Amino acid sequence: MTRRTQPGTSEFWQYARDFLHDYCPRTRRMSPKTIQAYRIGLEGFIVYLNSIGIPRRQISFDCFEKTVIKDYSTWMTTTRNYAPKTVDLRLTILKSFLKFAAWQDPTLMALHEAIRVVKPPKAPKKPVEHLDRAATTAILAAWADATAKARRNRMLLILLYDTAARVSELADATVADLHLAEPAFITLTGKGRKTRNMPIMEKTVQHLRAYLNEFHPSPSQNPSTPLFYSLRHGKPEALSTDSIASILNQAASLAQVAYPAIPDRVHCHLIRKTRAMDLYTDGVPLPLIMQMLGHESMSTTSTFYAFATMKMMTDAIEAANPQAISETPVWKEPAIIDALYSL
């Protein structure tokens, strides 16, 4: 590596602290979890440098040369066996940090430009994981007991699916976030404290009105009261994301009895992906789905759901000219599907 005199070791550590403690939370308005991911990402690069004989006290911006970053990418893939998405995230974090540092010191701009072209290994494309409609229906109806807790849990899962919300967004939702007058919607607060309004379907509105009558009956109640809560010492306390995940897992286990095809592991993000895929296959345009999911980049959404297009195109052709297709398309055969989804 070519040694530079400025900025040195102390400058690197100062910029790293400013990046994590000032720029990320204040300028980028990142959530604590995202900042933690960035901290872990930077620490991962430091661990790599330690492994090749560079101790912490000697780390400087010399370590960000293009050849080092390429070797780091290879190390993550071959030595640590990180998934391509993880490698991509770690490289993105380094690029973001170096871009910030270049703003502070223009002499670092060349380093930033050099590592911009470093690409992570390509991830094999796979069909998006999602539940079929029968599985979704079984899970949403699983909490069938005639208890207040079951009614709360059923309402929670219905809203989780209907809004395609992140689990953290639903955990943070308050009574004030609900707007049930037409057109009904809920305001969700997502990553970076960014808000978006999600429409609520009429059937869900009917469920919500009954839920509010039971769990939020007082008109003078504090509007900041958690929408979904449990009582602790007689006061409502918002359900944690772990509690919501547990409610979903229990529902999936109950639903498996009637519908064994439900996978053993059903997580909240799977419900979010399922709702998005259901909308997509029903013909909702990707730009609208992008807004609903809170994705900032169109590529995030389009890449995610690209595998639905083959079935959609075939179904559209069959609808337009059904007599021209007298046999099952060969790509629907299991062996052909396996081949399509291979490298």
Q: How much is the average pLDDT of 94-109?
A: 92
Backbone φ, ψ for residue 196 (5° rounding): -150, 150
Which CATH superfamily includes the segment(s) 133-304?
Intergrase catalytic core (1.10.443.10)
Q: Confidence band (pLDDT; 50, 70, 90) for 3?
A: very low
Q: What is the CA radius of gyration of the chain?
A: 25
Backbone angles phi, psi at 6, to 5 degrees: -145, 145
Calpha distance 250→301 (Å, rounded) = 29
| Stronger pLDDT, 201 or 323, i.e. the higher one | 201
pLDDT at residue 138, rounded to an integer: 94
Mean pLDDT for the stretch of residues 88-103: 93
Q: What is the pLDDT of residue 29?
A: 86
Q: Indicate the pLDDT class of residue 291, thresholds 50, 70 and 90.
A: confident
Q: Which of 111-115, 220-224, 231-235 has the lowest mean pLDDT?
A: 220-224
Confidence of residue 5 (pLDDT cuts 50, 70, 90): very low
pLDDT attached to residue 2? 41
Six token digits for residue 321: 């000219």
pTM for the whole thing? 0.61
∠ CA(63), CA(65), CA(70), 5° rounding?
Answer: 100
Query: Picking from 199-213, 248-262, 281-295, which range would have the lowest pLDDT averaged per residue?
Result: 281-295
Instruction: Give the pLDDT mean for 8-26.
Output: 88
Paired with 13 in beta bridges are: none
The confidence score (pLDDT) of residue 329 equals: 52
More confidently predicted of 212 and 31: 212
State which fold the 9-115 domain adopts: DNA polymerase; domain 1 (1.10.150)
More confident residue, 221 or 40: 40
3-state secondary structure 281-341: HCCCCHHHHHHHHCCCCHHHHHHHCHHHHHHHHHHHHHHHCHHHCCCCCHHHCHHHHHHHC
What does the longest C-alpha to C-alpha distance in the chain come to? 75
Closest CA to 100 of 33, 188, 162, 12: 12
Sketch the domain layout of the chain as residue ranges: 9-115, 133-304, 307-340
> What average pLDDT does the segment 81-104 reach?
91
Q: State which of 101-110, 149-158, 294-303 shows the largest mean pLDDT.
A: 149-158
- Mean pLDDT estimate for the chain: 83
Split at pLDDT 50, 70, 90, the class of 342 is very low
Residue with tokens 């993105």: 92
- Give the pLDDT band of residue 97 (cuts 50, 70, 90): very high
Among 168-177, 207-216, 238-247, 298-307, where is mean pLDDT lowest?
298-307
